[in-house]
């Protein structure tokens, strides 16, 4: 219960975005929802783990543009060797953004057609290019950690403290290595962040939507969009930084 199911981002040209992820990351379409005003497409590697997370691309049919904001940081994808993976992307035609040398040799970054940042990290588990974590920035680290640990029963399994910022990684205690985690980034300078609208939400997976919603309400999570208001298909709450968290069923 509460494992991370997907990260949703909004795109301005669905065909271009699909081509980018399918060409460079070998993603395949795992699901699609065509509505009157929008389209949702779910993507992931062919051999994504059963408990692995997917990427949801949302395209609104009205042709709107989006602002990136800075409250969302990036998604991270896995590889065996960051230098080889980055060279592979460059040779295939991906734009050079932040190579491994500029990141201390341990990770790298590219951007998708809409400017969403994608970190490339070395892992000895999970399918190549599968989602490793989603990074979000928080204004109060203790409050954010408390929310994810109490509301979602997440475990703080890794932390890194630096001179001017800290990183905290969380996911369910019993989640496999291949599951996606959430990375909370806390900058010590007390800055505030703008959510923008280019990123949508994090989604968590549950077996019983109504039971999970009742549990969250009992833990005093925000009553934002209950199951009934979403045709009993999903529901939404918000974390302390007003980031939307969707509940979905398996």
Strand arrangement of the beta sheet that strand 244-249 belongs to: 28-34, 38-44, 54-60, 3-10, 199-206, 244-249, 235-238
- Does the active-site annotation cover 177? no
Q: Which of 56, 119, 122, 178 is catalytic?
A: 119
Left (φ > 0), alpha (ψ -120 to 50) or beta: where does 136 sit? beta
The secondary structure of the chain, three-state, reads: CCEEEEEEEECCCHHHHHHHHHHHCCCEEEEEEECCCEEEEEEECCCCCCCCCEEEEEEECCCCCCCCCCCEEEEEEEECCHHHHHHHHHHHCCCCCECHHHHCCCEEEEECCCCCEEEEEECCCCCCCCEEEEEEECCCHHHHHHHHHHHCCEEEEEEEECCCEEEEEEEECCCCCCCCEEEEEEECCCCCCCCCCCEEEEEEEECCHHHHHHHHHHCCCCCCECHHHHCCCCEEEECCCCCEEEEEEC
Active site residues: 119
């Amino acid at each position: 219960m509460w494992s991370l199911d997907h990260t949703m981002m909004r795109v301005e040209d669905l065909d271009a975005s699909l081509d980018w992820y399918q060409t460079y990351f070998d993603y395949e379409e795992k699901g699609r929802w065509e509505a009157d005003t929008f389209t949702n497409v779910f993507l992931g590697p062919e051999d994504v783990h059963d408990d692995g997370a997917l990427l949801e691309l949302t395209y609104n049919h009205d042709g709107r543009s989006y602002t990136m904001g800075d409250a969302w940081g990036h998604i991270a994808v896995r590889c065996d060797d960051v230098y080889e993976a980055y060279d592979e992307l460059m040779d295939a035609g991906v734009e050079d953004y932040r190579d491994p040398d500029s990141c201390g040799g341990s990770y790298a970054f590219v951007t998708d057609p809409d400017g969403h940042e994608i970190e490339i990290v070395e892992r000895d588990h999970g399918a190549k290019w599968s989602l490793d974590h989603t990074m979000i920035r928080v204004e109060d680290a203790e409050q954010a950690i408390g929310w994810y640990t109490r509301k979602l029963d997440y475990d703080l399994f890794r932390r890194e403290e630096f001179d001017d910022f800290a990183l905290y990684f969380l996911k369910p205690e019993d989640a496999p290595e291949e599951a996606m985690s959430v990375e909370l980034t806390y900058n010590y300078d007390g800055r505030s962040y703008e959510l923008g609208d280019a990123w949508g939400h994090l989604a968590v997976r549950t077996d019983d939507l109504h039971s999970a919603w009742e549990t969250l309400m009992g833990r005093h999570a925000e009553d934002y969009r209950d199951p009934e208001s979403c045709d009993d298909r999903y529901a939404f709450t918000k974390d302390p930084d007003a980031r939307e968290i969707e509940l979905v069923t398996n």
